[in-house]
């Protein structure tokens, strides 16, 4: 599966090996700075690695944007239990399609990032939890792991330095919910993918109740560059407190949809108009979902902003997982809201009442509205139900369903009213 044509405005750091012949092979990787960061990290203390990651300003790429170095620092160093590295490759957020490319075109970068995390916290075992639908990636990853074992990168004597590190893949079974870290761990342990009560957080009690570092694929992939080229290099790529680049997954009504690596803080309108070649068919921009389906929609006039965690949060949305969904002037917002709510109703795990019942009710309500059977009071009800879910669910999935819905109703109320009147 070819990825999109690169764009000149891109700053290719994590994707710099994409497009090289045989980019997924260990030979190509090693010939292009591969495993040099690991070599370097073996000479560093755990503190030094963690401090480097902290200084880089790397924030979790799964969506929440939690500082990665700080997360690693939470792992109790003197715990007598084994420690684990678990990779969240359960990429399922609608609008997001970057982790698959990182695995498909540069699996060794991920392996190296995982191994450095292992050094940082003293883990000797890693697992890559890959979304069940990404079956083809399991083969790619397994092949890369086999190569790494064959070259003495993985195993009981990593790079001949007497360090142990083992790595294996684990297939998910098709639940969006398992992208939530604690549900992922439940599923990983072979149980039903319900989220766990937190605290304790995975850093303290994760896989098999042992201390666990759990990060997104893109997060781990950034680590080798941070170690090799230094925290400052990485931090300077982005905007303040938002180190590095970001893989933006541009989709929807644009001329050049694709995954583009751009500095943190890149302007959203420039992303759409310059990198993405503008709105398709010369239409006007109506709205953008800036970070995957769970992020509140931005109206066209709100889109002139820097794409980093803090700026997008200030605009009352989220940078999320980098899934930028562009909607042109012909977009039916009620249909869009319905499509998103169908997804959440389908993916709600059923554990807690507000999410389980709320998403289903909202789905039915939006469907009825889209069918032209809505009433004016339903518009209020949609907003009410969403707010009644918000902040009251067991895990963030309820919020993820409620927040975009609230935004759709607040920002495009006239479209809902038009459906009712019709």
Partner 1 sequence: MADLVKFTIDGRELEAPAGTLVIEAARQNGIEIPSFCYYEGYSLQAACRMCLVEVERMPKMQVACTLPVMANMVVKTDTEQVRNARKYTLEFLLSNHPLDCPVCDKGGECELQDMVFRYGAGESRFTETKLHVDEQQWSPVVFYDAPRCILCFRCVRACDEGMGVGALGVVNRGAMSLIAPNHGDHLECDECGQCIDICPVGALTSGTYRYQTRPWEMEHVGTVCTHCSDGCKTTLGVRGDEIVRGNNRDRSGINGEFLCAKGRYAFDFYNHSERLQSPLMKVNGKLEPVSWSTALKAVATKFSSLQTSGGKFGVIGSNQTTNEENYYLQKFARQVLGTNNIDHRRTGDVTTLVDALSGKTGKLAATTDFYETPAVLVLGADLAVEHPFLSFQIRANYRHHAAHVYAVTPDVVREDQYSVQSIRKPAGTEITALEGLRSALAAESGLVIAFSDSVKGAAVHTLVEFGESLGIPVKYAALVDYTNSRGAVDFGLTPELLPGFQASGQVGLTTGEIVTATDLAALWVIGDNPLQSATLGSTKAFVVVQDMFLTETAKNADVVLPSASLYEKNGTVTNGCGEVQRVKRAVSTLGTKPDLEIIGLIAKEMGSAAQMGPWSPDAVYNEIRSKVNGYDIPLPMVLMGAQQTAPVNGRVGVEPRPELVRSAKENLFTSGTLGRYSKILNSVIERRAGHAPSEGNS
> Are the C-beta atoms of residues 83 and 122 closer than 8 Å to each other?
yes
Listed residue (149, 150, 287) closest to 279, CA to CA: 287
Q: How many CA atoms lie within 13 A of 386 on its CB side?
A: 26
CB nearer to partner 1: pick between 47 and 371: 371
| H/E run at residue 30 | helix 26-31
Size of the site for partner 1 (CB under 8 A): 29
Euclidean distance between the first and the last CA atom of the chain, given in angstroms as a whole number: 44
Smallest distance, Å, CB 368 to partner 1? 7
CB nearer to partner 1: pick between 305 and 381: 381
Residue 336 Cα distances to 131, 192, 343, angstroms = 25, 30, 11
Residue window 293-332: x/- pattern of binding to partner 1, with contact defined by CB under 8 A: ----------------------------------------
CB nearer to partner 1: pick between 126 and 202: 202
Residue window 335-374: x/- pattern of binding to partner 1, with contact defined by CB under 8 A: ----------xxxxxxxxxx-xxxxxx--xx--x------
- Pairing relationship of beta strands 245-252 and 285-289 according to DSSP bridges: unpaired
CB nearer to partner 1: pick between 69 and 383: 383
74 token code pair: 């939470």
Smallest distance, Å, CB 354 to partner 1? 6
Smallest distance, Å, CB 299 to partner 1? 27
Residue window 127-166: x/- pattern of binding to partner 1, with contact defined by CB under 8 A: ----------------------------------------
Residue window 173-192: x/- pattern of binding to partner 1, with contact defined by CB under 8 A: --x-x--------------x
Smallest distance, Å, CB 186 to partner 1? 12
CB nearer to partner 1: pick between 170 and 368: 368
What lies within 8 Å, CB to CB, of 253 at 6+ separation is: 279, 280, 281, 283, 326, 327, 328, 331
Window 379 to 398, contacts with partner 1 (CB under 8 A):
381, 388, 391-394
Three-class secondary structure of residue 91 per DSSP = coil
CB nearer to partner 1: pick between 171 and 359: 359
Listed residue (238, 174, 239, 185) closest to 207, CA to CA: 185
Window 185 to 244, contacts with partner 1 (CB under 8 A):
192, 197
> Are the C-beta atoms of residues 262 and 296 closer than 8 Å to each other?
no
Smallest distance, Å, CB 146 to partner 1? 34
Instruction: Describe the crossing of helices 413-421 and 333-347 by its angle, rounded to 10 degrees.
Output: 100
Please tell me the distance from the alpha carbon of residue 319 to that of residue 96, in angstroms, as a whole number: 12
Smallest distance, Å, CB 70 to partner 1? 19
Which residues of this protein are in contact with partner 1, per CB under 8 A? 175, 177, 192, 197, 345-354, 356-361, 364-365, 368, 381, 388, 391-394
């Amino acid at each position: 599966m070819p990825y999109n044509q690169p764009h000149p405005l891109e700053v290719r750091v994590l994707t710099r090996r994409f497009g090289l012949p045989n980019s997924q092979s260990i030979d190509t990787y090693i010939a292009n700075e591969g495993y040099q960061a690991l070599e370097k990290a073996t000479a560093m203390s755990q503190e030094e690695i963690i401090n480097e990651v902290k200084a880089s300003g790397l924030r979790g790429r799964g969506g929440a944007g939690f500082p990665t170095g700080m997360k690693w620092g939470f792992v109790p160093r003197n715990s007598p239990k084994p420690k684990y590295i678990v990779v969240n490759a359960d990429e399922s957020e609608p609008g997001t399609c970057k982790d698959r490319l990182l695995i498909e075109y540069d699996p060794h970068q991920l392996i190296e990032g995982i191994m450095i995390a292992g050094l940082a916290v003293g883990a000797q075992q890693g697992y890559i939890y890959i979304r069940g639908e990404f079956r083809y990636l399991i083969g790619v990853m397994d092949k890369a792991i086999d190569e790494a074992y064959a070259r003495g990168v993985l195993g009981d004597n990593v790079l001949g330095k007497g360090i142990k590190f083992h790595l294996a893949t684990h297939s998910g079974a098709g639940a969006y919910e398992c992208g939530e870290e604690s549900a992922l761990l439940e599923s990983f342990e072979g149980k039903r993918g319900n989220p766990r009560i937190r605290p304790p957080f995975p850093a303290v009690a994760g896989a098999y109740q042992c201390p666990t570092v759990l990060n997104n694929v893109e997060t781990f992939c950034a680590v080798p560059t941070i170690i090799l080229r230094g925290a400052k290099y990485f931090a300077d790529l982005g905007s303040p407190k938002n180190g590095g680049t970001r893989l933006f997954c541009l989709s929807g009504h644009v001329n050049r949809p694709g995954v583009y690596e751009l500095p943190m803080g890149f302007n959203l309108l420039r992303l759409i108009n310059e990198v993405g070649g503008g709105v398709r068919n010369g239409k006007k921009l109506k709205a953008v979902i800036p970070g995957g389906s769970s992020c509140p929609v931005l109206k066209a006039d709100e889109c002139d902003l820097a794409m980093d965690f803090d700026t997008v949060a200030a605009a009352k949305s989220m940078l999320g997982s980098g899934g930028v969904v562009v909607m042109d002037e012909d977009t039916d917002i009620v249909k869009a809201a319905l499509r998103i709510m169908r997804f959440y109703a389908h993916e709600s795990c059923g554990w807690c009442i507000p999410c389980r019942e709320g998403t289903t009710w909202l789905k039915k309500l939006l469907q009825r509205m889209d069918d032209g059977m809505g009433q004016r009071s339903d518009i209020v009800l949609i907003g009410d139900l969403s707010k009644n879910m918000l902040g009251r669910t067991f895990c963030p999935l309820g919020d993820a369903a409620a927040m975009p819905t609230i935004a759709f109703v607040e920002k495009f109320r006239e479209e809902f009213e038009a459906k009712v009147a019709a």
